[in-house]
């Protein structure tokens, strides 16, 4: 199972993206555990996580977030604004999987 965490400001709009990602994973036959969390909880939410993604609205936290994730060997990236804005769950899922394979 792939454990993905999306970190954003409050988690409301990102929860809709999580639903789209779960549907895309089901179509692709990928076993995933995806949750949206507040960026302020990043350090406390990385246990067993395979990849972390930041919502574009909290992209400014990338330097600090990357430092925290690097200490835990968790790859991290910012979700592209176009994919986030269009709620393209398949593309965001593909991004997460590509980070794990690196």
Active-site residues, by number, are 8
State both tokens at 84: 């986030």
CA distance 17 to 21: 6
Q: Which residues of 31-69 are buried (b: 16+ CB within 10 A; e: fewer)?
A: ebebebbebeebeeebeebbbbbbbebbbebeeebbeeb
Q: Using an 8 Å Cβ cutoff, are 92 and 53 in contact?
A: yes
């Amino acid at each position: 199972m792939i454990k993905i965490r999306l970190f954003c400001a409050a988690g409301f709009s990102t929860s809709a993206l999580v639903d789209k990602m779960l549907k895309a994973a089901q179509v692709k036959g990928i076993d995933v555990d995806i949750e949206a969390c507040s960026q302020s909880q990043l350090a406390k939410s990385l246990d067993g996580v395979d990849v972390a993604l930041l919502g574009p609205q909290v992209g400014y936290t990338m330097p600090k977030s990357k430092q925290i994730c690097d200490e835990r060997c968790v790859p991290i990236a910012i979700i592209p604004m176009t994919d986030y804005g269009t709620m393209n769950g398949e593309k965001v899922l593909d991004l997460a999987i590509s980070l794990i394979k690196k």
